[in-house]
Chains A and B, each alone.
Chain A
Amino acid sequence: MAQGSIMLQVSVIQDIAGPVTSIPPVTVMAFHFLSFDKTTVREITAEKTGGILAGGSNMPIGYSGSPFAVLRLFLRGGEEVFFLAPSHVSSPQFEAGFAILEIEELGVTSIGSNEMNLSRLIGGHAYLDEVE
């Protein structure tokens, strides 16, 4: 049975007491079973605040401004389609049985003996509509 509007939202606050010489990456997934009715992805987005501070230079290390986020739908027969963030326009309809929102943010290992501290919040969401 179609489930109507569905929200998938997940965030991670990662704090390291430090100092450390390696910061682990963040990969977090939220998932939801669907009904193989008609699913539209209405919105997908991700954002970040905070970051990594390297002790040697006290310079923040910032690569990408936002985390990488992708929503994957698994269709009848095992086929998969994916949708990249940010998107605020409705997708075509798919007959999907499973949705996974995956958010990724990089990890780093210091060059030389620079020590690092970390405090960051990474999160994202996807809105889906499932209709008969």
Chain B
Amino acid sequence: MNITIKGPGEIVVRFIDQNGKALLQETIRVSGSGMVEAKRDINLSLETLSGQVLVSPVLIQQGEKQQVTFDGEHHSSFTRKRCQEIGCTQNITEDAAHGHAQPLQEGAIHLPSAQK
């Protein structure tokens, strides 16, 4: 899937499994003029010891002047479709489509708070 961002600012995307658990989070910051754009390609699955886990992207945050699309579609309609594909419940799907997902559990590596 590709994430396309038009305009400067910061977006936060969480990638949730069918149970709504966030496994991956990406914060993408773009700086420049109002004409700057950015693109990020990412797979919608993660490998664990139990096998492949399918995930859906959830746009948690975006800058006021930013436009964000997933694979060229409005992010919320893409998220709704992807959540249905991977077997999320209706509640999880609707929450995700509205930009809500549980925070990521704290991992073993901690970046300096200034970077977060």
- Partner-B contacts on A (CB < 8 A): 3, 6-22, 24, 26-33, 49-51, 53, 109, 113, 115, 117-121, 123, 125
Contact = CB atoms under 8 A, between A and B. Distances in A.
Contact of B30 (A9, A22, A118): A9
A113 B51 CA distance: 11
B58 to A, nearest CB: 14
A28 B43 contact: no
Interface of A: prevailing SS: strand
Given A21-B48, A27-B40, A32-B37, A16 B107 contact: yes
Contacts of A31: 36-39
Interface in B32-79: 32-33, 35-43, 46-49
Given A8-B32, A22-B46, A49-B111, A30 B37 contact: yes
Contacts of A7: 31-33, 36
A13 B27 contact: yes
A71 B36 CA distance: 14
B108 A53 contact: yes
